[in-house]
Every structure is written in C-alpha cells, then in structure tokens.
Structure 1
Amino acid sequence: MSFEAGDKRQATRLEFDLSAGTYPFVVASARSSCTIALQNCLPRGDGAYAEFFTVEDGNPEVFVDCVADRRADAEVLNRTAGGGLVEVDVEEHCPVVTLTDAGAVPRTARGTDGDGAVVADVPAATDTTAVIESFLDTYPVAELTAKRQRESITPLFGFQDYAALTDSLTDRQRELLAAAHEAGYYGWPRETTAEELAGRLDISAPTLHKHLRAAERKLAATLLACPSEESALGN
C-alpha cells in the first residue's frame, strides 16, 4: 500500500494495554522481573506463525514455560548474559495476528514486569474504529490507552532488506528465501502460500518449510544482534 506525500493522516497509531490478560510474554515478564519484546513475526502457512521475542534481564526459560502452559511450543534460540532470543510457534490467534487480520500493521508487543502492551498502525484506508472494536471484542480485558496520528508505517512482519543479512545462509537457504520474498510470501497481506510457492519451485511443502525455518532463525538472530551458533540454529 502506498500513501500520498504530505498526507497527514497516513496512519493512526493504536496502543492497547494487555496487563490484565494471561499472555505468556506478559506473565513471564512478571515472573522473571524482566522485559520481553516481540521483534518479528513470520508466516508458517496454514494460519501458523513464528514469533521472535527478546528477553532482557531475565531467564528465557521462564518464558518458554509460560508458553508451554498455553499448550504452544517455544524454544530458546540464543542465550546472552542478560537474557536471550526465543522463538514461539503460534497456531492460534494472538494479539498481533488479530490486529493484522483486522487491517492494522503491528509495531511491537511488550511485557515489562507484568505490564503488557501491543502497538499497531492503522492505514488511512482502514476503518480505525472497526479495528479497535474488533480487537476489544476478541480481548475484552485489553484497554485502548493511546490513539494518535502518524505519517508513516514500518511493518513488524517480514524482512525489509534481507540481502545484506544472508551471509550466514547456505546457498539453498538463500535461494529459497529470495524466492519467497519475491513471491510475496513475507508480504502483508501475504501474496502466496507455502504450498503454492513449493509447487512453483517443484519441491515439497515440508522441504520448503524446513529450509525457510532454518534461514529465518539465522536472520532473526542477526537482526537482533545475537551471535549465531550452528548447533542452536540448525543448518
């Protein structure tokens, strides 16, 4: 989507308070007295997503345990002296995905010492009131705490310039990631599914998922300035 230069109503930024909910990144931030922030969210296909969170000044395993309590999968990809990087596999709707389905563009989701928030931008062409009502209907314990005008949108979803980040990838990972990027797999809304892309490339969908998953983990670690370890990220 493009916007006219000088349009002062290109987007409306919304912020919702999630402190009253039982979202794993909020609950874990309280248990570990830390900050847990969503940095990126990537489609997996069939309504599933991979979300990458940084844990600052806390134990990432506490976050993994909170995700497990919700019967979802999570894994610590990298550990640092003060926290780490955690990947969460999302099979059901979460606040970020709910906002995108309503037409908003998520910016971040964060929990700090039990205080939770999610921020998203709503394009001018989208009904802001409808986005707010849809989100609050889905999460009645959430509260709209801010609504202000913005002049630009920077998506959370996908990689905006992956070319400079691919040095750690294998040739096959780089090839398939480039094909996915060019086909709009990482766009929002997504322009092609994993199954459609796999068919074009004459490979199976599971094979495509395997290579993309490994590439995404490496890129996520690079984007978040976490040193990559082959033993942790896979080939």
Structure 2
Amino acid sequence: MSHRDEYSQWPFLTEEEFELACAFLDSRYTKAKLGPVRKGFKLRSRRTATTGATSIEILRLLNVSSDDGDLSELLDQLWDRRADGASASDMEVDMPNEDQDNEVLLSNTDTPPQYSMYAHQPYVVYEIHLHPTYRVPTLWFTLHDLPMAEPTFDLNSVFRYLVPDEHKAQLRAAGVTGGISAAPHPITDLPSFFIHPCQTKEAMEPFDCEAKDYLMVWLGLVGGCVGLWVPRELAET
C-alpha cells in the first residue's frame, strides 16, 4: 500500500503537513520508553509566536557526565533556560575560505562576552525547520559553551565536535552548497549552520513512509553527518 497519497506532493511538505510531522515526532518522543537515554537527549516541538511556524528543537550534551543525576539536572536547566528565551552564549565568528558567507559571519563586537554558568558543559542545539523554498525539512544547529578560546560559530569546531570521521571528507568536498552552510537563523536571525536541503528530494524519493514516520526517516538520512542520531528506543516506538 502506498502512503504517498497522504502528501500533496511527495516528498515535499506543505506547512500543514510539516506541522503534523512535527506533532508525530514530538508525540513519539513523549511516549517512548527511553529510560536513561532521555537524560541526554531532549526533544520538543515549538511554535514561533510571531509567525505561528512550527519547528522541532533537540538538545544534546557534547561531554556526557559520569553522574546520571548531574547530567539529568544539567539538561533540565539548559532546557528550561532555552524555553525562557535566554541566550546561552555569544557566538564567535571564524570561518576561513567561506568568503561567500561574509555577511553571515559578522558578529556584534560591541557586546562584551557573556559566560554561562554551565560553560564547562558544551552542548549542541539542533532545530528542524521547513525550508520556505525547497519545501523540505532543514536541519539547523549551533554549538554552545565550548572551552575557552574555541569559537562556537566556526566550521572547524563543527567538524571537530559534530562530524564523524566517515563523513568529514564528503562534507568538506561538498562545500557550501550541498553540505554545511551558514546563514541567519530563520527565527533569531543570528548566524547559524544548517545542512543545505538541495539533495533532500533525491534522498527521500525512494522511501514510501507514512506521515507519522516522515521526520524519523529524514533524520536517519540527514542527522548522522553532524552527530545527530535518533535513539533506537525512539525508532521502535
């Protein structure tokens, strides 16, 4: 049985279809029996007040604490702080050989550095937004609270902290288009990284998944290249 009749134009999504896909993923996370996994992997659906647009936010610590209690408390406080709209840290800019993104790479040098009370715990925030032109999900991500002297908005930091060795050569060869790109964040307008969605259509076309599984399939194709793996328990829900 084909499930493609669930979509207006497979594999593209309308805003309503993307919102439904986000609701399915959020519900899957809520109901999954993740156990200890939930302490290090936070996911929720969010809606932007100004535009009404829906997105998915995922938070993951880069250095896992040996103390489960400390880890759980840390993730919860980081999660709550993001929900309150507080900025985790200023982003420094350092992306050599990316001249076409110069406007994106400018930072506010008049603002003094801010240091998080959790600066010793680097973490990454992934966000899934519907691309307004390509009409497919797009994975955005930002690094936060890296060790002193390591810029967060830096392509080398991304490759060092997020990109597995088996993906590094392919992503570096892809360049800006088709690989890791930089642009103002779709909501905050702050400099951010994202996986360019130009190849998403071809990647998704061979699949015939229900709407409730769309983002799970998509994450399996896109997330791993920047260190975002869906927990097995979530996939089994």
TM-score by length of 1: 0.30
More strand by share: 1
TM-score by length of 2: 0.30
